Amino acid sequence: MSNTTADVCDSSVGKRKLVVTWGQSVHLGCFVKMPEVLANQEVRWYHYSKEKGRYQIAYKYGAGGDKFIETSEKGLVIVGVNEQDAGRYDCWLGGALLCSYNITVDAHRCSAPAKSNDYQKIYSDWCHEFEKYKSAMKSWERKQAVSRFILLLLGSSRYNVDRHYFFR
């Protein structure tokens, strides 16, 4: 009898296969919402490609360096996918594999759909994605408004406390 613990742990890791169109941007994530207890932990993403083998994703912001973007929930956005971006992406927290994606880049999907059902499917997919982005944007705007309001309250209460102290 063999030890099957590795198989049990391996099967609990979220694994997804994605077929993406050349030029598309894709979001990879392990969490819907990052658990509070893990917020300060380092999350690392690795890419396994035919050309480079395994390497850790480096986030470079600024001129020409925004191929990979880290999201607020420790997800990964790959901007402008091309053939070199195909392969497996693993998300690690410490020594634990959280999730894994296998990405295939379909350069031929850029052609126009052949049937009306294909157009409807693509339109439906696009609308669904757009609604997700709209919802995320509204949520972000609400959080920004609350943050500004709290800062405004804190600022005015400090002013009132200081003024009260000095003019007593």
Write the burial class of residue 164 (CB in 10 Å: 0-12 exposed, 13-18 middle, 19+ buried): exposed
Superfamily of domain 1-110: Immunoglobulins (2.60.40.10)
Q: Say what the pLDDT of residue 62 is.
A: 60
C-alpha 125/C-alpha 52 separation (Å) is: 32
C-alpha 4/C-alpha 12 separation (Å) is: 13
C-alpha 19/C-alpha 13 separation (Å) is: 20
DSSP code of residue 113: P
What does each C-alpha distance from 36 to 40, 44, 73 come to in angstroms?
A: 8, 17, 10
Q: Give the start-to-end residue ranges of the domains of the chain.
A: 1-110, 112-168
Write the burial class of residue 27 (CB in 10 Å: 0-12 exposed, 13-18 middle, 19+ buried): middle
Q: How many CB atoms lie within 10 A of CB 107?
A: 12
The pLDDT tens digits along the chain (168 residues) read 444 344 445 556 678 999 988 888 899 988 767 777 777 778 899 999 888 899 998 877 665 567 898 888 888 999 988 889 999 999 998 888 989 999 999 877 555 666 777 677 777 777 778 788 888 888 888 888 888 888 888 876 554 544 444 444
Write the burial class of residue 103 (CB in 10 Å: 0-12 exposed, 13-18 middle, 19+ buried): buried
Q: Say what the pLDDT of residue 100 is.
A: 93
Count of residues in the chain: 168
Please give the structure tokens belonging to residue 104. Answer: 């295939």
DSSP code of residue 112: P
